[in-house]
Amino acid sequence: MNMSRRWLFAAAGALAMSVTAGAALAQSYKAEYKLSTVVGKPFPWGNAGERWGDLVRERTQGRINIKMYPGTSLVGGDQTKEFTALRQGTIDMAIGSTINWSPQIKELNLFSMPFLMPDHKAIDALTQGPVGKKIFELLAARDVEPLAWGENGFREVSNSKRAIRTPDDMKGLKLRVVGSPLFNDTFSALGANPTQMSWADAQPALSTGAVDGQENPLTIFTVAKLHTVGQKYVTLWGYVADPLIFVVNKTVWASWTPADQKIVREAAEQAAKENVVAARKGIVAGDDSVLKEIEGLGVTITRLSDAEFKAFQAATKPVYEKWSKQIGPDLVKTAEESIAKR
């Protein structure tokens, strides 16, 4: 056999192997990857999910097609079951709340410690520092691949009854909270009556007066038009924040090529950065447009003085100390040190 014929046979063999490998790759990829979020568009959280999917679809030329399922609809709306379903493979990907996943990962309760994070720089100090790295290590050991930190924002309290300026003002108020024991402890310590329910059930409950109020980031307040369901009073107290985490099921992650993994990770990082900007828009120094919008709806916004803020801290100190032990004193100490250095 002459050299030219050998070269042709070799080239044909290489082409056949390439086609076979390409077919195998195409077969191993799903036609659709299910992405779970608690809320959809036009909330910043939902926008982030759509943005992530769009970036991945574009950069992989459609090899990875992501469809967002808002309302945690893949788990019947039960937000606290999302992480378990993600581990089991019922959900392929998620942009999850540290609050909703805390029942399965106790360390995530750190972000719900009352009055731990005084400002956005404190959030960044945690998510972008040693605490964030530790959390990602914990997640990676639980069948998921963590990719990026997003943000749902500081959670402010609203209600239909009265302005809240002191812990005494909260006594007797029926307030919707997420399904976390730490939230129950915090609001019970303040004299309120916390009621756990999903966000899907919260708005009807507010409308009928089954609950008096709720706590959520202000972007939720404006987009969901909570002023139309009796929420006349908002107190800015920033008692906890809710970072979001972009993750992929470990088995799904392993099914992609290293090149596609890199694309998905970089797309998550970009979508997350855009999400953080959107979550903070209108509520930071120099841009209080969201606050003005809410006040323009006839809602009373209460801003706490330093002394008033410290009164809430004092009232919830026993809760802070109790949960520090449960979360892990070393992690809490690292968080406090990171915030102090910000």
- Domain of residue 228: give its range: 31-340
Per-residue DSSP letter, 299 = P
Q: Which of 96, 21, 25, 90 is nearest to 64 (CA)?
A: 25
Decide if 5 is inside a domain.
no
Annotate 269-286 with three-state secondary structure.
HHHHHHHHHHHHCCCECC
Q: Which of 225, 267, 297 is nearest to 43 (CA)?
A: 225
pLDDT under 50: residue ranges of the chain: 3, 7-24, 26
- Structure confidence by residue, pLDDT tens digits, 172-204: 999 999 889 999 999 999 999 999 998 889 999
Q: What is the CATH number of the domain that holds 55?
A: 3.40.190.170
Decide if 275 is inside a domain.
yes
The tally of domains found in the chain comes to 1
Residue 95 forms beta bridges with which residues?
Answer: 246
What's phi and psi for 268, nearest 5 deg?
-65, -45
Q: Which of 124, 123, 149 is nearest to 135 (CA)?
A: 149
Decide if 264 is inside a domain.
yes
What lies within 8 Å, CB to CB, of 305 at 6+ separation is: none
Burial 303-336 (b: 16+ CB within 10 A, else e): ebeeebbebbeebbeebbeebbeebeeebbebbe
Global confidence as pTM = 0.89
Provide the 3-class DSSP secondary structure of residue 298: coil
Decide if 23 is inside a domain.
no
Decide if 15 is inside a domain.
no
Structure tokens at 70: 């808002």
Please give the Cα distance from 219 to 41 (Å, whole number): 12
Strand pairing of 213-216 and 144-159? antiparallel
Decide if 283 is inside a domain.
yes
Please give the Cα distance from 246 to 94 (Å, whole number): 6
Decide if 312 is inside a domain.
yes
Predicted pLDDT at 5: 53
Provide the 3-class DSSP secondary structure of residue 91: coil
Decide if 210 is inside a domain.
yes
Per DSSP, the chain holds a count of helices (H) and strands (E) of: 15, 9
